[in-house]
Structure 1
Amino acid sequence: MKAIGMGLAVFIGMLLPLQALINASLGRQTFGPLFAALMSFAVGTGVLALWWLATRPTFDVAALARVPWWAWTGGAVGAIYVAAATLLIPRMGAAPLICLVVFGQLVGSLLLDHFGVLHARQPIDGTRVIGALLVVAGALLVVRPWQTPAG
């Protein structure tokens, strides 16, 4: 099961640049990148609502009142990501955008793990630092900030 989960994570990761490219194309063909990001969330909301309803969920309105305010902010983070990716991908390309996003995810993940934000603490150690540095090196080789853009 672990291999299936890892394969699914890789597949989902492969879809993220495609999502950004699709949204950028929609933005060019309609009313701009923010509209495209909005439509991405509207369609995604519809898909998730149908999927959720298909699972025949139980629903307790009182449970919603017990949820802390910050637990509702995940959608805002997702909206910022989708809108920013839609704006940036035409300017920098899919590979540099995703490399920089992955780098940001890695730094954020290491810090969240180290300080135990919303889960058990997992301190940063030498192995994790070496892994992060290898990702940085890979991102630099893909992004090549020392090179002027072609074209």
Structure 2
Amino acid sequence: MKWMYVIFALLAGAMMPVQAGINLRLKGSLGDPVWAATASFAIGTLVLIAYAFATKAPVPSLGMATSAPLWAWTGGALGAFFVFAIIILAGKLGAATMMAWLLAGQFIAALILDHYGLISFNVHTISWQRIAGVFLLIIGATLINRY
């Protein structure tokens, strides 16, 4: 069962540089990365709404929505920043270099979030093996960037 999630993660990860290229092309047509990111989020929102209706997902009540802490509502803003950033980075760095540095940044943040159990994550203590893995990833990003 866990392998299905690993495959799902690999597919989702593979879509990140594809999304960056698509949004970079959209920026070329619309002339601005902010408008390209806005269009991307608008279409994504429509797709999610259609999916929710198609699967008959229950609509959360107002009480459910107000029970979330304020910081839990910042995910959309962070997503908007990420989409905007990949539009800029894809054009400047290329797909491989962009993804290598994005992954390095994600792993560094993930180690900290896991170690301290921040923002709803379970605690997974930092170990030398985890640090070595991130260090190797940074070396890989450096090699991809250089060559």
Taking structure 1 as the reference length, what is the TM-score of the superposition? Answer: 0.91
4+ residue stretches of structure 1 with deviation over 2 A? none
Which runs of 5 or more residues in structure 1 are unaligned?
none
Paired residues, number: 145
Match of 2:44 in 1: 44
Provide, for residues 57-114 of structure 1, a one-character-per-residue CA deviation record: whole Å limited to 9, x for no partner: 2232221121111111111111000001101211111111110000000000000001
Compare the two structures and name the one with the higher helix fraction.
Answer: 2
In 2, Cα distance between the equivalents of 1:140 and 1:31?
Answer: 31
Match of 2:2 in 1: 2
Given the alignment of the two structures, is residue 14 of structure 1 paired with residue 14 of structure 2, yes or no? Answer: yes
In 1, Cα distance between the equivalents of 2:85 and 2:74?
Answer: 17
In 2, Cα distance between the equivalents of 1:88 and 1:127?
Answer: 30
CA RMSD of the aligned region, Å? 1.2
In 1, Cα distance between the equivalents of 2:27 and 2:78?
Answer: 20
Taking structure 2 as the reference length, what is the TM-score of the superposition? Answer: 0.94
* 2:10 alignment partner AA: V
Provide, for residues 38-75 of structure 1, a one-character-per-residue CA deviation record: whole Å limited to 9, x for no partner: 10000000001111122212232221121111111111
| Identity score, percent | 37
Which runs of 5 or more residues in structure 2 are unaligned?
none
In 1, Cα distance between the equivalents of 2:31 and 2:47?
Answer: 23
In 1, Cα distance between the equivalents of 2:121 and 2:9?
Answer: 20
Shift of 1:115: 0.8
Counterparts in 2 of 1:2-151, with a 5 A limit? 2-59=2-59, 60-117=61-118, 118-144=120-146
